[in-house]
Amino acid sequence: MIKEILSKNYVFQKPSTPLDKLLAQGVAAYDADKWAKHKRLLNPVFHLEKLKLMLPLFYLSCVDMLSKLEKMIPSEVDVWPHLQGLTSDVISRTAFGSNYEQGRRIFELQKLQGALLFKAFQMLYIPGWKLLPTRTNKRMKEIAMEVDSSIIGIINKRMQMIEAGEVTESNDLLGILLESNFKETPKKW
Protein backbone atom coordinates (compact mmCIF):
# COMPACT_ATOMS: atom_id res chain seq x y z
CA MET A 1 0.00 0.00 0.00
CA ILE A 2 2.85 2.38 0.82
CA LYS A 3 4.47 1.75 -2.57
CA GLU A 4 1.14 2.46 -4.30
CA ILE A 5 0.61 5.67 -2.33
CA LEU A 6 4.15 6.89 -3.06
CA SER A 7 3.91 6.03 -6.75
CA LYS A 8 0.53 7.78 -7.18
CA ASN A 9 1.52 11.19 -5.88
CA TYR A 10 -1.09 12.85 -8.08
CA VAL A 11 -3.88 11.01 -6.28
CA PHE A 12 -2.59 11.07 -2.69
CA GLN A 13 -1.84 14.71 -1.89
CA LYS A 14 0.10 15.59 1.26
CA PRO A 15 -1.56 17.84 3.83
CA SER A 16 0.21 21.04 4.76
CA THR A 17 -0.13 24.02 7.07
CA PRO A 18 1.20 27.57 6.72
CA LEU A 19 3.90 26.71 9.28
CA ASP A 20 5.29 23.87 7.13
CA LYS A 21 7.19 26.38 4.99
CA LEU A 22 9.34 27.33 7.99
CA LEU A 23 10.71 23.81 8.39
CA ALA A 24 12.95 22.10 5.84
CA GLN A 25 11.05 21.33 2.68
CA GLY A 26 12.30 18.30 0.83
CA VAL A 27 11.26 15.66 -1.64
CA ALA A 28 8.99 14.04 0.94
CA ALA A 29 6.94 17.24 1.14
CA TYR A 30 6.58 17.74 -2.62
CA ASP A 31 3.59 16.73 -4.71
CA ALA A 32 2.92 15.83 -8.32
CA ASP A 33 5.30 17.28 -10.94
CA LYS A 34 7.68 18.86 -8.42
CA TRP A 35 8.08 15.48 -6.67
CA ALA A 36 8.68 13.63 -9.95
CA LYS A 37 11.30 16.19 -11.09
CA HIS A 38 13.23 16.09 -7.83
CA LYS A 39 13.07 12.30 -7.60
CA ARG A 40 14.56 12.10 -11.12
CA LEU A 41 17.32 14.56 -10.14
CA LEU A 42 18.17 12.67 -6.94
CA ASN A 43 18.26 9.15 -8.39
CA PRO A 44 21.92 9.30 -9.58
CA VAL A 45 23.06 10.31 -6.09
CA PHE A 46 21.86 7.11 -4.47
CA HIS A 47 23.48 4.58 -6.79
CA LEU A 48 25.39 1.97 -4.80
CA GLU A 49 28.77 2.98 -6.28
CA LYS A 50 28.24 6.61 -5.23
CA LEU A 51 27.24 5.56 -1.72
CA LYS A 52 30.33 3.33 -1.39
CA LEU A 53 32.47 6.45 -1.85
CA MET A 54 30.93 7.85 1.32
CA LEU A 55 31.89 4.97 3.63
CA PRO A 56 35.04 6.75 4.88
CA LEU A 57 32.86 9.68 5.94
CA PHE A 58 30.49 7.34 7.80
CA TYR A 59 33.53 5.80 9.50
CA LEU A 60 34.88 9.21 10.61
CA SER A 61 31.56 10.15 12.16
CA CYS A 62 31.32 6.82 14.00
CA VAL A 63 34.89 7.11 15.31
CA ASP A 64 34.19 10.65 16.57
CA MET A 65 31.06 9.52 18.41
CA LEU A 66 32.73 6.46 19.91
CA SER A 67 35.69 8.51 21.17
CA LYS A 68 33.26 10.87 22.92
CA LEU A 69 31.41 7.93 24.47
CA GLU A 70 34.64 6.25 25.63
CA LYS A 71 35.46 9.34 27.69
CA MET A 72 32.15 8.87 29.53
CA ILE A 73 32.46 5.10 30.14
CA PRO A 74 32.59 5.15 33.97
CA SER A 75 29.27 6.97 34.17
CA GLU A 76 25.84 6.06 32.91
CA VAL A 77 25.34 7.50 29.43
CA ASP A 78 22.20 8.43 27.57
CA VAL A 79 23.20 7.47 24.02
CA TRP A 80 20.15 8.99 22.29
CA PRO A 81 21.64 12.51 21.97
CA HIS A 82 24.87 10.95 20.68
CA LEU A 83 22.98 8.94 18.06
CA GLN A 84 21.17 12.12 16.97
CA GLY A 85 24.53 13.85 16.74
CA LEU A 86 25.94 10.93 14.73
CA THR A 87 23.04 11.16 12.30
CA SER A 88 23.45 14.88 11.72
CA ASP A 89 27.24 14.52 11.49
CA VAL A 90 27.00 11.74 8.88
CA ILE A 91 24.45 13.69 6.84
CA SER A 92 26.51 16.88 7.13
CA ARG A 93 29.72 15.16 6.02
CA THR A 94 28.10 13.22 3.18
CA ALA A 95 25.79 15.95 1.96
CA PHE A 96 28.04 18.98 2.31
CA GLY A 97 31.53 17.50 2.01
CA SER A 98 34.12 20.10 2.94
CA ASN A 99 31.31 22.39 4.12
CA TYR A 100 30.15 19.92 6.77
CA GLU A 101 30.62 22.45 9.58
CA GLN A 102 28.11 24.68 7.79
CA GLY A 103 25.92 21.61 7.44
CA ARG A 104 26.11 21.04 11.19
CA ARG A 105 24.99 24.63 11.74
CA ILE A 106 22.04 24.07 9.41
CA PHE A 107 21.05 20.98 11.43
CA GLU A 108 21.30 22.92 14.69
CA LEU A 109 19.07 25.63 13.26
CA GLN A 110 16.59 23.04 11.97
CA LYS A 111 16.45 21.41 15.41
CA LEU A 112 15.72 24.79 17.01
CA GLN A 113 13.15 25.52 14.29
CA GLY A 114 11.46 22.18 14.99
CA ALA A 115 11.23 22.99 18.70
CA LEU A 116 9.70 26.39 17.94
CA LEU A 117 7.23 24.87 15.48
CA PHE A 118 6.27 22.19 18.00
CA LYS A 119 5.56 24.99 20.47
CA ALA A 120 3.49 26.78 17.81
CA PHE A 121 1.51 23.63 16.96
CA GLN A 122 0.57 23.21 20.62
CA MET A 123 -1.16 26.57 20.56
CA LEU A 124 -4.63 27.09 19.17
CA TYR A 125 -4.34 27.85 15.45
CA ILE A 126 -5.63 31.30 14.61
CA PRO A 127 -5.67 32.33 10.93
CA GLY A 128 -3.06 35.01 10.35
CA TRP A 129 -1.22 34.17 13.60
CA LYS A 130 2.09 33.58 11.82
CA LEU A 131 1.95 37.14 10.46
CA LEU A 132 1.95 38.68 13.93
CA PRO A 133 5.39 39.99 14.98
CA THR A 134 5.73 37.82 18.07
CA ARG A 135 9.20 36.92 19.35
CA THR A 136 8.72 33.28 18.30
CA ASN A 137 7.47 34.20 14.82
CA LYS A 138 10.37 36.59 14.27
CA ARG A 139 12.89 33.95 15.39
CA MET A 140 11.33 31.28 13.14
CA LYS A 141 11.58 33.60 10.13
CA GLU A 142 15.19 34.49 11.01
CA ILE A 143 16.09 30.80 11.22
CA ALA A 144 14.38 30.03 7.90
CA MET A 145 16.25 32.88 6.20
CA GLU A 146 19.61 31.83 7.70
CA VAL A 147 19.13 28.21 6.61
CA ASP A 148 18.12 29.27 3.11
CA SER A 149 21.07 31.64 2.72
CA SER A 150 23.51 29.02 4.06
CA ILE A 151 22.30 26.38 1.64
CA ILE A 152 22.32 28.79 -1.30
CA GLY A 153 25.85 29.88 -0.35
CA ILE A 154 27.09 26.28 -0.23
CA ILE A 155 25.45 25.50 -3.58
CA ASN A 156 26.83 28.64 -5.26
CA LYS A 157 30.34 27.91 -3.94
CA ARG A 158 30.15 24.36 -5.29
CA MET A 159 28.82 25.60 -8.65
CA GLN A 160 31.77 28.01 -8.91
CA MET A 161 34.16 25.14 -8.17
CA ILE A 162 32.53 23.02 -10.88
CA GLU A 163 32.66 25.87 -13.41
CA ALA A 164 36.33 26.53 -12.58
CA GLY A 165 37.16 22.82 -12.94
CA GLU A 166 38.41 22.64 -9.33
CA VAL A 167 36.34 19.55 -8.51
CA THR A 168 38.21 16.35 -9.31
CA GLU A 169 36.23 13.73 -7.39
CA SER A 170 32.86 14.04 -5.75
CA ASN A 171 32.52 12.37 -2.41
CA ASP A 172 29.56 14.35 -1.15
CA LEU A 173 25.89 14.16 -2.08
CA LEU A 174 25.67 17.83 -3.03
CA GLY A 175 28.62 17.53 -5.39
CA ILE A 176 27.31 14.37 -7.02
CA LEU A 177 23.87 15.91 -7.42
CA LEU A 178 25.17 19.16 -8.91
CA GLU A 179 27.71 17.48 -11.18
CA SER A 180 25.30 14.83 -12.48
CA ASN A 181 22.66 17.46 -13.20
CA PHE A 182 24.95 20.38 -14.05
CA LYS A 183 23.42 20.98 -17.48
CA GLU A 184 19.94 21.19 -15.98
CA THR A 185 20.94 23.28 -12.97
CA PRO A 186 20.65 27.08 -13.12
CA LYS A 187 23.94 28.99 -12.87
CA LYS A 188 22.84 30.69 -9.64
CA TRP A 189 20.24 29.29 -7.28
- 90: domain CATH number is 1.10.630.10
Q: Which parts of the chain register pLDDT below 50?
A: 183, 185-189
Residue 157 within a domain = yes
Q: What pLDDT is attached to residue 180?
A: 59
Residue 64 within a domain = yes
Q: What pLDDT is attached to residue 143?
A: 92
pLDDT digits (tens, 9 = 90+) for 55-84: 888 888 899 888 888 888 777 788 888 888
Residue 187 within a domain = no
- Sign for the CA dihedral angle at 44, 45, 47, 49 comes to positive
SS3 50: helix
Are 64 and 89 within 8 A, CB to CB?
yes
Buried b (16+ CB within 10 A) or exposed e, 101-115: ebbbebbebbeebee
Q: What pLDDT is attached to residue 23?
A: 64
Cα–Cα distance measured from residue 175 to residue 177, given in angstroms and rounded to the nearest whole number: 5
| Number of domains making up the chain | 1
Residue 53 within a domain = yes
Question: What is the domain range of residue 100?
Answer: 2-180
Q: What pLDDT is attached to residue 189?
A: 44
As to burial, measured by CB atoms within 10 angstroms (0-12 exposed, 13-18 middle, 19+ buried), residue 172 is buried
Q: What pLDDT is attached to residue 142?
A: 92
Tell me the pTM: 0.65
Residue 186 within a domain = no
Cα–Cα distance measured from residue 169 to residue 97, given in angstroms and rounded to the nearest whole number: 11
Residue 185 within a domain = no
